[in-house]
Amino acid sequence: MRKHLLCALGMALLPVVASAQDELLERLLENDDDNVSESSWLELADQPFDLQSVSREELLRLPFLTGSQIDYFLKARERRGFWKTEDGALGALAVTGDTLDFCRRIFYLPDQDRKPIQISSRLRLTYPSNRDAQWLGAVFRNYQRVRATVGNFSLAALAERDPGEQRFDDLSLLSLTLPIRMKATQLEAMVGDFFLEWGQGLVLWGPYGQSIGSSAVAPVRRQARGLRTYLSTDEDFALRGGAVSVTHRSLEVMAFLSRSRLDATPHDSLTVQLSATNGLHRTENELAKKDNAEEEAQGFGAIFSGTRWRVGTLFYQQNFRPLVQPAAHASNYFDFRGSQNRLLSVYGDFNVREYMLAGEWAVNENGGRAFQFTFEGESRPVALAAALWNYSADFHSSRGRGFGSLNDPPVNQQGEYLGVRFNPPSPWNFEGTFLIRRYPWRTFSLPLPATRRELGVTVEWKKAGWLLRLLLRDRDQDELTSSNSYTNRSVVGRENRWRLTLEARRPIGRTLQFLSRLDIQRVQVEIQDQADTSSDSPQQGFAVSQEIGWRPRPNLRLYARLSVFDTPPAEAIYVYERDLPGVLTNFALREQGERWYIFLAWQPIPQLQISAKASQIWRLTNEDDTIGSDGLAWSVQVDWQLGTSKTPKGRSGRTENEQ
């Protein structure tokens, strides 16, 4: 009864409550995956763009900016020579409302009183809600990151120990960068940990990609940024060695050399199995995989650019020791095996006003091929985005990222994507996405080709401070499942997952704001077996959330949220939560219960920010509605800077990646 009363209360609040300043960031970050703690979008607020030097490629990564806005901004900057004020620069981008607020966080003008030596640091301490009995180390998570700039020379270092790990140096990353600029030539050298974004990401990309969210345009805005320093907490994805990039007029040439240790499962003294790892070494089993393989990587590439186009080619080689041997299972038949992998990539993009076409084609040593093309065009008030890709089953690219995927490599997949945004001159905004993935080669016992279809619809209404949003997600895919209703053995099923989200936001006065949210999810599996073709009963769940935000002073923010949920035991509803700067949280609400959290951000002086979060979850443990709770989880973070007389807006930090 208590559950239904709270649900009714949350639904009653929907018409009368309101908004949050992080609206755009939330739309880009929310997804059905609670295993990812970082995102490329978070880094924008942590290492904001310099308005005096930001490039067209960097601006194109922002899905809320159109081609005409970007062109007008770049022409205005060229005409003026430099921007005198931040408001003038953002005015040239023609952004307003929530988009303007977000842009103030991801753009800045260089400090006129900049000192020759600058230092920034992030210290974080986290205590999880539960402890695993198999953990060997302390339960706390320690995270320390330092960045220093001396003239043009920069140094970045990161050390971390996850909960349960014994050693503080399980993750230690160090990067040195030296840019040298001359009249028509620019040289940048890196030593330490780095990564390379290239083309569409088929061969080389960062530690995470871009998932399909509510933005129709964002998935095709895949603009590579070249060599970047690496400070992600997923250490296995870092290249470790040296890299150099030389740009002369329209030509850029880059080369790199890396040698790093990788986690792997040993088969015997001569072979190992590479597998997706998260860098955790908390238990005896995880420690047994630590640093069992070595990768040597080297590559070189060149890009030639014109006013409206770019073309480039890249050669990349990996050498592994000991020999890589996948698991002896039918689903691993096409996995990489051996000691050497060579890849060649050709990339190009072309843009005219509001239209841009980009593509990459790649081949590896054993003949596996992959290609991907993206298109974006806009004729106001309609924007169109499309993508087409084909990754063969024997294409091996362990450092690549597939389309619309956070961390999956481009292999064994064909697909098409279509996104449409309709933004008329009215309070209404509409976005729709449609995605098909096909997996042509056998994975377990699924029929060929196994398919997955996703449909998304977003409807927004904004007026006089109000924001009402409706999101609909429908996913249909082949799954290997077991249904006790019809059979006691594993069988093939067709899963349909439907989710509806309703949100209402609006500030109350100048210091108070509210957010009410209702999520309804329905999952049904249709059994596809030779002996029986039938359907399980639909499983339904819901979550109701109420958040209150209070900002009594410009430098102090406090948020509190209560969520009530009821989902089937095997299912979850993922909800985006506020968290410490640099941490991405899409929390999985499972079973039946309640969850609360409180988040605080305080900036006593411009160079210092203190953030803290506390959370807890209660679940019903049996049929008589007895409540059992997890432990209290809390985290504290301190961000500080030295060497500037003031802190640029938005430089308070939002990600653990200093890319």
328, with CB counted inside 10 A (0-12, 13-18, 19+), is exposed
What number is the average pLDDT over the span 175-198? 84
Say yes or no to pLDDT of 574 above 60: yes
Residue 345, domain member (yes or no): yes
DSSP result, 213-254: -S-SSGGG-----EEEE---S-GGG-EEEEEEEEEETTEEEE
pTM of the predicted protein model: 0.84
Same structural domain for residues 635 and 535? yes
Same structural domain for residues 514 and 391? no
Q: Which stretch of 1-5, 130-134, 343-347 has the lowest confidence by average pLDDT?
A: 1-5
Say yes or no to pLDDT of 452 above 90: no
Same structural domain for residues 394 and 471? no
Residue 172, domain member (yes or no): yes
Same structural domain for residues 257 and 398? yes
Residue 459, domain member (yes or no): no
Q: Could you read off the pLDDT of 385-405 as tens digits, one per residue?
A: 999 999 998 899 989 988 987
Same structural domain for residues 222 and 328? yes
Say yes or no to pLDDT of 659 above 50: no
Range of the domain at 584: 1-30+467-643
pLDDT value, residue 48: 73
CA–CA dist 159, 127 (Å, integer): 17
Same structural domain for residues 555 and 622? yes
Q: Report residue 230: phi and psi, to 5°.
A: -115, 125
Same structural domain for residues 402 and 497? no
Residue 614, domain member (yes or no): yes
pLDDT value, residue 655: 35
Alpha-carbon distances, residue 441 vs 25, 371, 438 (angstroms): 37, 17, 9
Same structural domain for residues 354 and 491? no
Residue 489, domain member (yes or no): yes
**Sole residue written with tokens 């880009």:** 28
More confident residue, 111 or 482: 111
**Reported confidence tier of residue 493, pLDDT bands at 50, 70, 90:** low
Residue 654, domain member (yes or no): no
| 456 close to 212: Cβ distance less than 8 angstroms | yes
* List of E strands, 483-536: 490-508, 512-528, 533-535
Residue 114, domain member (yes or no): no
pLDDT value, residue 253: 96
Q: Identify the bridge partners of residue 345 per DSSP, sorted by sequence position.
A: 314, 362
Q: First-to-last CA distance in the chain? A: 49
More confident residue, 623 or 553: 553
SS3 44: helix
Half-sphere exposure of 457 (CA within 13 A, CB side): 8
Q: Which long-range contacts (CB under 8 A, 24 or more apart) does 454-457 make?
A: 454/212, 456/212, 456/214, 456/431, 456/432, 457/430, 457/431, 457/432
Give the tokens for residue 280: 């955790």
Residue 87, domain member (yes or no): no
DSSP result, 554-576: TTEEEEEEEEEEE--TT-EEEEE
* List of E strands, 113-236: 117-127, 141-150, 153-161, 171-181, 185-197, 226-229
What number is the average pLDDT over the span 523-550? 76
Q: How many domains, in total, are found in the chain?
A: 2
Instruction: Please enumerate in sequence order all residues whose Cβ is within 8 A of that of 442, keeping only pairs 6 or more positions apart, or say none.
Output: 330, 331, 333, 448
SS3 74: helix
Q: Could you read off the pLDDT of 51-72 as tens digits, one per residue?
A: 888 887 788 778 778 777 888 8
More confident residue, 42 or 510: 510
Q: Which stretch of 348-352, 458-462, 482-486 has the lowest confidence by average pLDDT?
A: 482-486
DSSP result, 376-426: EEEETTEEEEEEEEEE-TT---TT---TT-SS--S-SEEEEEEEEEE--SS
CA–CA dist 641, 650 (Å, integer): 13
**Reported confidence tier of residue 445, pLDDT bands at 50, 70, 90:** low
Same structural domain for residues 574 and 476? yes
- What does pLDDT average to over the chain? 81
Same structural domain for residues 508 and 396? no
**Sole residue written with tokens 């003026």:** 80
Q: Identify the bridge partners of residue 450 per DSSP, sorted by sequence position.
A: 439
Same structural domain for residues 394 and 472? no
Q: Which stretch of 109-123, 345-359, 473-487 has the lowest confidence by average pLDDT?
A: 473-487
Quote the DSSP letter at residue 270. Answer: S
SS3 588: strand
Same structural domain for residues 341 and 257? yes
